[in-house]
Amino acid sequence: MTPQQEKLVLSNNKLIWYVINRMIRPFPSDAEDWHSIGMIGLIKAAYAYDSSRGTQFSTVAVRYIQSEIWKEQRRLLASKRRTRSNVLSLDDPISDQFGNARTVSEIVSDPSVNIEKSIVEQEQARCLCDAVSRLTDRERMILSARLDGARQRNIAQKLQISQVQVSRLERKAIAKLRKMCHSGVVL
């Protein structure tokens, strides 16, 4: 960070409080955390600011600070949704691989059932289904055909693209699935 950028950050520190006060009502109890997030935006604004454009630094900085705060709010909201969706009730039905539905309480009371394995398999299947639904139609079609044993050359002819493109799309789709399932986050 150049001395000029550092001066911009230090002299506009109060701008963060101004943005927090306008964006978050009532004033948050964790205001210092929000200030830290706003500081990230202020620093990004200092790096991006170009005085030759004729805009004031405060105009640019407010946008960057707001953007960082909105990004954190979206992250927190997504985190709350994931936490809420991972809660099971004893009356929730769980289906096995044959489509037989049993409640959680029935499974827990059955000593022959490996509960941990069942829950992990169910979660993996749900995650994979969600991830597959987020692939493009072309990616789904390519993966489906490959799982059915089709050659890339045949798929390429059907889609009227090159075999290299089929290979790239297949790798890209598999990488997407891995990323979504390994992180446990389905976007």
Question: pTM for the complete prediction?
Answer: 0.45
**Per-residue pLDDT at 184:** 54
Residue pair 105/94 in contact (Cβ under 8 Å)? The answer is no
How far is it, in rounded angstroms, from Cα 105 to Cα 116? 14
How would residue 121 be classed by pLDDT, with cut points 50, 70 and 90?
confident
Mark whether 9 and 66 lie in a shared domain.
yes
Residues 133, 158, single domain; the answer is: yes
Per the structure, the complete domain to which residue 53 belongs is given by 3-85
Residue 185 in 3-state DSSP? Answer: coil
Amino acid at 11: S
SS3 114: coil
Confidence of residue 115 (pLDDT cuts 50, 70, 90): low
Domain end residue (candidates: 85, 108, 130): 85
Let me know whether 144 and 74 are in one domain: no
Cα angle, residue 72 at apex, residues 69 and 75 outer, rounded to 5°? 155
Nearest to 40 by CA among 82, 75, 77: 75
> pLDDT digits over 44-53, tens only?
999 999 989 9
Number of Cβ within 10 Å of residue 8's Cβ equals 22
| Same domain, residue pair 47 and 72 | yes
The total number of structural domains in the chain stands at 2
- Verify cis geometry, omega within 30 degrees of 0, for the bond prior to 28: no
Among 66, 85, 104, identify where a domain stops: 85
The mean pLDDT of 118-132, rounded to a whole number, is: 79
Give the CATH number for residue 79: 1.10.1740.10
Residues 80, 113: one domain?
Answer: no
Q: What is the pLDDT of the chain when averaged over all its residues?
A: 83
Q: Which residues contact 184 (CB under 8 A, 6 or more apart)?
A: 82, 127
* Residue range 138-181, pLDDT digits in tens: 999 999 999 899 999 999 999 999 999 999 999 999 988 888 87
Whether 71 and 137 map to the same domain: the answer is no
Q: Which of 69, 85, 101 is the last residue of a domain?
A: 85
